[in-house]
A = this chain, B = another copy of it.
Amino acid sequence: MTDFAATKALFHLPQGVIYLDGNSLGPLPKDATDRMARVMQDEWGEMLITGWNKAGWMDQPTRVGDRIARLIGAEPGHVVMGDTLSIKVYQALASALMMNPDRRVILSDSGNFPSDLYMAEGLIRFLGQDHELRVVAPEEVSDHITADVAVMMITEVDYRTGRMHDMATLTAKAHEHGVVTVWDLAHTAGATPVDLKGADADFAVGCTYKYLNGGPGSPAFIYVNPRHADAALPALSGWLGHDAPFAFEPNYRPGKGIDRMRVGTPPVLALAALDSALDIWDMTDMHAVRAKSQVLTDRFIAGVEAACPMLTLATPRDPDQRGSQVSFRFSDGYAAIQALIARGVIGDFRAPDIMRFGFTPLYIDEGDVDAAVAIIADVMQNDLWDHPDYKTRAKVT
């Protein structure tokens, strides 16, 4: 039983704000500033270069990776931190393609985050061969898993609508057709339970600045299925992924297991902030978070729909079909979100018409939901009418 009042008390939440954008950037854990100061002064300041061993900086990417492994159903020792999510997408995609050298198609869907599609595009342009990025509608992915597909690259939860793919079913079908899978967990890590091991996913990647609260631009992670860990070839073969980085050998020899997915020097300070945020995650588990998230999102949907008939639910109504966000479509969504922010309810807007709200049980509770619903109702019925960004200029009922 998680004490969510206790976890909430561990975050700095600004006065007068109801923060429903933790799915974009999580808030500051109260302990993180002191933790960072200690790492800077006691480790960097005092140990200098010896911090790589004495303070354990060199092992930090796998040590932190193991803390995330627990939250995404991964085996310990098979997650490593580093770089950004876009780089990790490229890294996973490249290794996956090299496992299927005779196939030329990367399958993805139009609900994927654009950066994932862009990274695939850039990779294909660079390869300069006859590869194809095949982008289909989210509901058509399963039908497009065919024997010409090399890699299926899917983001589990849609960043706009919150619709969730069925990882286990899609992965099983992919494997039946010899397709290697790359799962992007940007909107699932820390949002919903993930069972990478159970689903037998091949590669997974994710970011840590959303639900995991690692701070702006905090490092990404990559998971490689233990079946592939000693076989996957890294395209981004940096020295810290070498089997003996400090031997300074002239040729690359991939490190053992997940270590080969390390690339350059790890971002020690950023990982310290993330590590501090993960202390709070140790107080709970994803099933407790999921149960609370479904209570909060159901309550929010009911409240908003009752008060704001002009908003159309874009998120699946079945709580098992969605992540931990709720999105509504509204033609003047941009103006509405600006008006809400002015009233202290922070959500965000995604073009063309999505008003998006994230629910994060570690620090958002039923009281916040009710207060947010009341403000949304007032804004939609009254404030918006006079908002300078409001373009429709028509009664919003």
Which residues of B are found within 8 Å of A128, using beta-carbon distances? 98, 101, 127, 129
Which residues of B are found within 8 Å of A40, using beta-carbon distances? 28, 32-33, 36, 215, 273
Which residues of B are found within 8 Å of A85, using beta-carbon distances? 264-265
Q: Report A231-247 residues with CB < 8 Å from chain B CB.
A: 233-242, 246-247
Interface centre among A32, A246, A267 (most CB of B within 10 A): A267
Interface centre among A122, A129, A341 (most CB of B within 10 A): A122
CA A395 to CA B11, docked complex, whole Å:
61
Which residues of B are found within 8 Å of A17, using beta-carbon distances? 48
User: Is A24 in the interface zone, CB < 8 Å from B?
Assistant: yes
Contact check, B33 vs A242: say whether CB atoms are below 8 A apart.
no
**Would you give the shortest CB distance from A375 to chain B, in whole angstroms?**
17
So how many copies of this chain end up in the complex? 2
Task: Known pairs A44-B216, A84-B264, A114-B250; list 4 more (Cβ under 8 Å).
Answer: A25-B51, A87-B87, A126-B127, A269-B270
CA A238 to CA B87, docked complex, whole Å:
8
Q: Which residue of chain B has the shortest Cβ distance to A113 in the bound complex?
A: B239
Contact check, A121 vs B251: say whether CB atoms are below 8 A apart.
yes
Chain A window 194-219, contacts with chain B (Cβ cutoff 8 Å), 1 for yes, 0 for no: 00000000000001010000011111
CA A72 to CA B220, docked complex, whole Å:
30
Chain A window 36-65, contacts with chain B (Cβ cutoff 8 Å), 1 for yes, 0 for no: 110011001110111110000100000000
Which residues of B are found within 8 Å of A121, using beta-carbon distances? 237, 251-252
Chain A window 321-341, contacts with chain B (Cβ cutoff 8 Å), 1 for yes, 0 for no: 000000000000000000001
Q: How large is the interface on A (under 10, 10 to 19, 20 to 34, 35 or more residues)?
A: 35 or more
User: Is A162 in the interface zone, CB < 8 Å from B?
Assistant: no
Contact check, A122 vs B90: say whether CB atoms are below 8 A apart.
no
Give which listed residue, B117, B246, B265, B341, contacts A216 with CB less than 8 A: B265
Given A37-B36, A101-B128, A346-B48, are A118 and B239 also a contact pair (CB < 8 Å)? yes
User: Is A256 in the interface zone, CB < 8 Å from B?
Assistant: no
Contact check, A238 vs B118: say whether CB atoms are below 8 A apart.
yes
Give which listed residue, B94, B215, B264, B268, contacts A86 with CB less than 8 A: B264
User: Is A74 in the interface zone, CB < 8 Å from B?
Assistant: no
Given A12-B45, A49-B25, A125-B235, are A209 and B265 also a contact pair (CB < 8 Å)? yes
Given A86-B263, A119-B237, A239-B115, are A48 and B27 also a contact pair (CB < 8 Å)? yes
Give which listed residue, B122, B234, B247, B273, contacts A235 with CB less than 8 A: B122
Contact check, B270 vs A267: say whether CB atoms are below 8 A apart.
yes
**Would you give the shortest CB distance from A379 to chain B, in whole angstroms?**
17
CA A15 to CA B19, docked complex, whole Å:
45
Which residues of B are found within 8 Å of A41, using beta-carbon distances? 12, 28, 33
User: Is A266 in the interface zone, CB < 8 Å from B?
Assistant: yes
User: Is A249 in the interface zone, CB < 8 Å from B?
Assistant: yes
Given A250-B114, A269-B273, are A49 and B122 also a contact pair (CB < 8 Å)? no
Given A46-B14, A216-B44, are A269 and B36 also a contact pair (CB < 8 Å)? yes
